[in-house]
Structure 1
């Protein structure tokens, strides 16, 4: 594993630094807007704007990358992101920040497509799964570590934005100095929603629900813990622990789903996420209890997307899986665009508890749908299921890396 990771260390270093410099911005923007007295719906709109930019960017940046090359495109996207980070400190207007979040999402999509197509070019059949796992670890560890940069804003409100711009600029160096050959951008055609639903109803419903749940959390989670009395350092710890919990449980839950009916594992994850969300919403927990419950929520909620992708792949032929996985990323993105507005509306109507109450309702609804699917459709035998692969929810480009790894794994079984 170490040798495989070292072969793409420049790309892994870049994504770690990038996520450390950018992953906390969603939390920071939400906290600052909340402190300024901006309505919850505007805070939700800012998050929706980011996911909209990420989705549109993932579909539109390939021609630019193909025309000017990965290194130049990567540098352009990171430079735009860095400039955007500094602009938050210069223009403190909510509507401008909404526009900046769209720019951030579009630029981040370009970064993801560059790095993921590059990783696919460097990966071999023998190390593809390891490369993908290393990429996911670097991405989420960077995002979790970056949350603690929120603490720098206590006495210098503009400093976190400046640190973000500095880290984003530093992230250019591993890519600009690499000697790795630049790849071609892989072409893919995502499945339509109808085709995805026909192949795997639980896969697409679960993915959509997961996107809405996590989109709402990323948008309003920091606002929730701030409104229940946590200070900025505790907000950073809470968000980081949720992400860390998500990383910790993906692999064991995935291995469990390889051995049993994967639908039952998905249903259990939704049910536990619903129960934890209901507990957070209904009870006035101490700070330690809230952070602990947040970690459990992250552990089961973050595992749902790769579980749903794996379940969908169980019902598809090998040549269909890239298109299906790409379509599921876009389905997740659609949910993530809707989630912030649903979550912010629930908080406006019912107070802070409305966020996790809404997330709990979404999770419970998906669990009930999953139970219904177990009644009307027989399970895929465990011996015929595809090998579970942990993967991030970034752009459709990651589907190429993930799906080819699963194909190789299925051939070796």
Structure 2
């Protein structure tokens, strides 16, 4: 295992630096906008622009990687992100910041595609789980370190932006010096959104709502924490605690989903999450109690996406997985783009606590929708045609049924068929010779149907 991780150390190092910079930049902008006392809608719009950039960047990234290769595409994207991060220090016009966030999202999606496609191609069935589990751990660790870096620079000066730029610049180095063979150019996966929404509606609904909740938290939780009277170090600790909870919950929640039905587990998750965030919106929390609540929030909020993705992959065929992955990423990105805008509008109208009230409404909506889809699927299963149906009609009581039973002797079957065709009764006497048998055959035929024996056929000779 250690050797496998070391062989991908260059990719993991680039991931750690890149995610650290992204987490630090997101928290810095949230706190900076809150200190500027701008409308909450602007804070939500900044985060929505980032996730919208992720959605748009999926298409641009495919074309860029196919055109110049993985390493060059990563280097170019890192350069643009570095310049965009420093651009926040040059101007304070919100419209320019909105465009910069969009550009950062597009370029970071290209970087994510380079790293994940590289890992996916060079991993095999024996170590794929270990490699991607390590990748997720490094990603969450980068987010936590990003919040810690914010606490080391409590003043909202240019220093955090310089650190962001340094990390984005340094993430180029591991890939530029790697000795691993870079993967083949990407082939765009076809989007089949309507097909998958019909096939796995519970999964995609869960992923969309998870995007709304997670996007709202990342974009607006720093502003919420600042409005509660927390200083920069406390805000960083608040964010780091939540992200760490999401990291620690991945493995146990995954093991639990292997034992409990995932659809039921997702519904239970949504109920607990809804009650929890409603309490966070209504109760006057502070100090360690508030950190405890946000830790539990991270456990249930950050496991919705992997549970939905696992449920989706469980119900589709192997050849559909690539197209499903593209649909999942698009669905999550759209949810994360819409969530901060709606949550910021709620906060603008009802105060900062409305962030968690909005999440409670989303969790309730998710539960109701999942219940509805689950009920519809059960009704369809009841009326669906069965693979096996009980036989009915004349065949059940016919002697021909005995001919289909391998346990019955053939001689017995012939005797039953003959007795059924020529019953010994007063109306139809048994034939005495061949001529009588022919006349009896004619009398038993349906009106208008005449069966004439073949003149060239010879009657069977009796067997001694």
Taking structure 2 as the reference length, what is the TM-score of the superposition?
0.79
2 CA distance for matches of 1:373 and 1:139? 33
| 2:52 corresponds to | 52
CA deviations 1:26-59 (Å, max 9, x no partner) are 1111110110011111111111111111110112
Q: Report if aligned partners of 2:224, 2:352 keep a CA contact under 8 Å in 1.
A: yes
Give, in whole Å, the separation in 2 of the partners of 1:230 and 1:190.
Answer: 46
Residue 186 (structure 1) shift: 3.3
Q: What pairs up with 1:155-194 in 2 under 5 angstroms? A: 155=155, 157-194=157-194
Distance in 2 separating the partners of 1:356 and 1:331: 22
Deviates more, 1:181-190 or 1:221-230: 181-190
Moved more, 17-26 or 239-248: 17-26
Greater relative CO, 1 or 2 (CA 8 Å, sep 6+) = 1
- 2:70 counterpart residue number: 70
Q: CA deviation at 1:368?
A: 2.3
**Could you say which residue in structure 2 is the equivalent of 1:143?**
143
Deviation, 1:187, is 2.2
Deviation digits for residues 195-219 of structure 1, max 9, x if unmatched? 1221111111111111111111111
1:406 matched residue in structure 2: none
Change (3 A) 1:155 1:199: closer
Equivalent residue number for residue 202 of structure 1: 202
- C-alpha displacement at 1:79, in angstroms? 1.0
- Count residues in correspondence: 379
Match of 2:349 in 1: 349
Aligned equivalents of 1:231, 1:160: Cα separation in 2? 16
SS at 1:259 equivalent: coil
Q: Is the 8 A contact 2:32 2:156 kept in 1?
A: no
Aligned residue number for residue 111 of structure 1: 111
In structure 2, relative to structure 1, the CA distance for the partners of 1:131 and 1:220 (3 Å cut) is: same
Q: Is the 8 A contact 1:190 1:325 kept in 2?
A: no
Cα RMSD (Å) = 1.5
User: Once the two structures are superposed, what CA deviation does each residue of 1:283-304 show, in whole Å capped at 9, x if it has no partner?
Assistant: 0111211221111111111111
Higher helix share: 1
1:85 corresponding residue in structure 2: 85
Residue pair 2:11, 2:115 contacting (<8 A) in 1 also: yes
Task: Tell me the distance in 2 between the aligned counterparts of 1:217 and 1:247.
Answer: 16
| Matched-pair contact (CA < 8 Å) for 2:117–2:183 | yes
Question: Within 2, Cα distance between the matches of 1:348 and 1:59?
Answer: 34
Per-residue CA distance 1:75-116 (angstroms, 9 max, x = gap): 111111111111111112221111111111011011101111
Runs of 4+ in 1 over 6 A off after TM superposition: none
Deviation by residue 1:244-271 (Cα, 9 ceiling, x = unmatched): 1111112211111111211111111111
Q: Distance in 2 between matches of 1:295 and 1:68?
A: 43
- Paired residue for 2:307? 307
Segment drifting more, 334-343 vs 14-23: 14-23
Q: Is there any run of 5+ residues in structure 2 with no aligned partner, and where?
A: 380-464
In 1, the alpha carbon distance for the partners of 2:288 and 2:115 equals 37
Bigger Rg over Cα: 2
Deviation at 1:188, TM superposition (A): 4.2
Q: Secondary structure at the match of 1:377?
A: helix
The alignment status of 1:22 with 2:10, answered yes or no, reads no
- Offset at 1:354? 0.6
**TM-score, normalised on structure 1?**
0.89
Q: Does the CA-based 8 Å contact 2:62-2:188 persist in structure 1?
A: no
Q: Does the 8 A contact of 2:65 with 2:186 survive in 1?
A: no
| Secondary structure of 1:24 counterpart | helix
Structure 1 CA distance for aligned equivalents of residues 16 and 332 of structure 2: 23
User: How far apart are 1:136 and its partner, in Å?
Assistant: 0.7
Runs (5+) with no aligned partner, structure 1? 380-413
Aligned 8 A contact 1:121 1:183 in 2: yes
Q: Does 1:229 align with 2:239?
A: no
Q: Is residue 257 from structure 1 mapped to residue 257 from structure 2 by the alignment? A: yes
